[in-house]
Amino acid sequence: MQLENDLYSFDKKLLIKAGDLIDRGTLKNIAGLSEHIRYVQIKDTQLMNDLIQAFKDKRYSNIFWPPETNLKIISYMRRVTMPEKVLSELAHMKKISPYTYHHILMIAILTAKISLDNSLKNKYSPDMTIRLSLFHDLGKSRIPLRILNKRLPLTREERLILHTHPLIGYILLHYYFGKDHKKYDFSSFQHHERLDGSGYPLGIKGLNKYSHLIGIVDTLDALISERPYRKKPFTLRAAIDFLSDESEKGRFLKGLVRILIRYARKEAPGAKLIIGARGRDKEPAGNSYGKTAAS
Ligand SMILES: [Fe+2]
Ligand SMILES: [Fe+2]
CA pair distance 221, 226, nearest whole angstrom: 10
**How many A from CA of 187 to the centre of ligand 1?**
10
**How many A from CA of 41 to the centre of ligand 2?**
23
Start-to-end C-alpha separation, the chain: 19
List alpha helices for 154-253, DSSP H.
156-162, 165-177, 186-189, 209-223, 236-248
Number of Cβ within a 10 Å radius of residue 185: 22
Entry pTM: 0.91
Q: How do the pLDDT tens digits run along the chain, 295 residues long?
A: 889 899 999 999 999 999 999 999 999 999 999 989 999 999 999 999 999 999 999 999 989 999 999 999 999 999 999 999 999 999 999 999 999 999 999 999 999 999 999 999 999 999 999 999 999 999 999 999 999 988 888 999 999 999 999 999 999 999 999 999 999 999 999 999 999 999 999 999 999 999 999 999 999 999 999 876 677 899 998 999 999 999 999 999 999 999 999 998 854 454 444 444 444 666 776 665 655 444 5
**How many A from CA of 270 to the centre of ligand 2?**
31
**How many A from CA of 241 to the centre of ligand 1?**
21
* Contact in structure between 22 and 167 (CB atoms under 8 Å): yes
Indicate if the alpha-carbon torsion angle 234, 236, 242, 247 is positive or negative. Answer: positive
**How many A from CA of 220 to the centre of ligand 1?**
12
| Residue 252, SS3 per DSSP | coil
Phi and psi at 285, nearest 5°, equal: -60, 145
Number of Cβ within a 10 Å radius of residue 121: 7
Q: What is the pLDDT of residue 226?
A: 85
Residue ranges and CATH numbers for the domains of the chain are 38-266 (1.10.3210.10)
CA pair distance 253, 213, nearest whole angstrom: 9
What is the tens place of the pLDDT at every residue in 273-287? 444 444 466 677 666
Name the closest ligand to CA 189.
1
Name the closest ligand to CA 100.
2
Secondary structure tally for the chain: helices H, strands E: 13, 4
Name the closest ligand to CA 192.
1
**How many A from CA of 164 to the centre of ligand 1?**
9
- Residues lining ion ligand 2 (Cβ < 5 A) are 137, 218
Radius of gyration of the chain (CA): 19
What is the tens place of the pLDDT at every residue in 143-193? 999 999 888 889 999 999 999 999 999 999 999 999 999 999 999 999 999
**How many A from CA of 76 to the centre of ligand 2?**
21
Q: What single-letter DSSP state applies at residue 77?
A: H
H or E element at residue 148: helix 145-148
